[in-house]
Chain A
Amino acid sequence: MIRTITCVLCPNSCELTVTHEGGAIQSIVGNLCPKGTSYAAQELTDPRRTIATSIPITGGELPLASVRVTAPIPKDRIMDVMAEINRHTRPAPVHIGDVVIENVLGLNTDVIITKDVAAG
């Protein structure tokens, strides 16, 4: 089977033409770097994405701090992770890298703060 996959790992957005047999890759054409090969393999068997959102900060100079996952999560669990993140708030101050949720939903990725918010 032949499938066309747009690699999302960097702005080059390589269009990969992947020939495979039930997830076993026979050939990949179109990737500018080796990351395309592993991305295509991942995409065929277990597509994953990163997400970013915000959580409310109490007593801060800003109402929100942005957060993101530290590693890609399965595509079909994105809304579950969003729902889990939406249950969380933090008091100010918060700092970049603070872990909000460790190993979110057992997916081997943490949710971390990506913006410093001082008390205010």
Chain B
Amino acid sequence: MKKQAVIVGGGPAGLAAALRLREKGISDLVILEREHHLGGILRQCIHDGFGLTRFGESLSGPEYAQRFVEQVTAAGIPVITDCTVLDITRERHITAVSRTQGMLELDADAVLLAMGCRERTRGALAIPGQRPAGVITAGVAQNYINLQNIMVGNEVVILGSGDIGLIMARRLTLEGAKVLGVYEVQPYASGLPRNIEQCLNDYGIPLHLSHTVVDILGEERLTGVVVAQVDERFRPLPGTEQTIPCDTLILSVGLIPENELSLAAQVELDPRTRGAWVDEHGQTTVPGIFSAGNVLHVHDLVDFVSLEAEKMADSAAEYITTGTLPPCPLSVRSDGEVGHVVPQKISGSRDFTLSLRVKRPRTNARLLIRQGDRMVLQRQMRKVLPAEMIQLPIKASQLLPQSDLEVCIQ
């Protein structure tokens, strides 16, 4: 089957991209979604705070998703749910299986990758100890509690201070569990300050920085964890170990863009974001394959996922209609204080949005964007945190057409 555009993933990025493609006159498109419902991870994010930028109100995740789902339905955009994409080739041939339609073979003018991200697990941390039940990631706990009505435990320790872990600390407390503490290996929290305040401080849940879990106890079910303080190189300090009896350990230790299909299509990944290298059009290193949202780089806010997906869809529509996009020969480079930048390539002739994260918290930082000796933009920032993605709109009129862009923090 031939399509103008195939969108892989029906979460916030995929839904926003599909709507924008349709607005731009791309009529022959389809969304392929692995789950039974559209909406992606928003379906289990029942707390509020979504949509402040986009809709000017504080919505829950399911409400935010439903606004897009309703528009997709009203626009008559074809959706295949319960559909797993097995392979994407460099030539944009897609193989998928669906419960209702069996094996699907699609050829697309443009493929829009919107698969989102997944959680780092215990295996990635190499925590020693037993392998009892009761050790789960924060997103899995969220799925059990908010979608399946299954309570995960009573006495809970949380490792990692990512936003989902903080949100789950509050959620578990509301459901009657005792959250004994959140342990973070870094000397600073990795979640947003508002979540430290409203999810931990409000409920008297202690946050222990520069601490980690060094042992997991229990045979059938978790009976406790051993925590210890760490030094500046994250090595546990002997003599600081403390055993905490608990039945559940929740891991909130990072998210990884889910790029197995991108790799199958020979899309090159940036080791810093673990997402695709993209130019300002959201186009990957494979022509006609685009990427946006959490599969490109992990976002803090869904509002910015929607926005990024729409910009990608603008470019994909242009690519489908005209068969080409302006070349992007200029690299965006960054210094050691910047964790990553997106996009990694630009044209120098169009407006674009630069996204970046800093590596460590700083106060009174100056963000400088230069082309050679020429200052493109500088911004004084009172406080920068790795937890907060920085986004800067940059105008074509500020740019030279022939020189790489350098981003640094002073």
Interface residues of A (CB under 8 A from B): 6-11, 13, 15, 49-54, 56, 62-64, 66, 68, 75, 78-79, 82, 96, 114-116
Contact = CB atoms under 8 A, between A and B. Distances in A.
A12 to B, nearest CB: 8
A49 B200 CA distance: 13
Contact of A62 (B147, B171, B197, B383): B147
B149 A13 contact: no
B202 A68 contact: no
B53 to A, nearest CB: 8
A6 B194 contact: yes
Contacts of B129: none
A13 B174 contact: no
Contact of B383 (A15, A49, A56): A15
Contact of B62 (A13, A78, A114): A114
Given A6-B193, A114-B60, A114-B63, A49 B46 contact: no
Interface string B52-75: 100000111011001000000000
Contacts of B66: 96, 115-116
Given A8-B194, A13-B192, A66 B174 contact: no
Contact of A68 (B46, B147, B300): B46
Q: For the side of the interface on B, what is the size category? A: 20 to 34
B47 interface: yes
Contacts of A63: 148-149
B194 A52 contact: no
Contacts of A79: 174
A9 B301 CA distance: 14
B213 interface: no
Contacts of B383: 15
Contacts of A96: 62-63, 66
B300 A52 contact: no
A115 B171 CA distance: 17
Given A68-B48, A114-B46, A115-B62, A75 B192 contact: no
Main secondary structure of the interface of B (DSSP, over half): mixed
8 contacts: A6-B193, A8-B198, A10-B52, A15-B383, A53-B46, A56-B149, A79-B174, A115-B63
A95 B2 CA distance: 37
Given A7-B194, A54-B149, A115 B48 contact: no
A36 B202 CA distance: 18
Closest 7 CB pairs of A and B: A13-B193, A66-B46, A115-B62, A13-B194, A6-B197, A114-B60, A8-B194
Contacts of B58: 50
Contacts of B174: 51, 53, 78-79, 82
Contact of A66 (B60, B193, B196, B197): B60
Contacts of B49: 10-11
Contacts of A52: 46-48, 60
Given A10-B49, A66-B62, A115-B46, 4 more contacts: A6-B193, A6-B194, A10-B194, A50-B58
A50 B202 CA distance: 12
Interface centre among B48, B60, B196 (most CB of A within 10 A): B60
Interface in B327-347: none
B297 to A, nearest CB: 17
Contacts of B300: 11
B43 interface: yes
Interface in B75-116: none
B148 A115 contact: no
A49 B58 CA distance: 12
Contacts of A8: 194, 197-198
A64 B146 contact: yes
Contacts of A56: 149
Contacts of A15: 193, 383
B388 interface: yes
B197 to A, nearest CB: 4
Contact of A49 (B43, B60, B198): B198
Nearest to B387: A13
Contacts of B146: 54, 64, 66
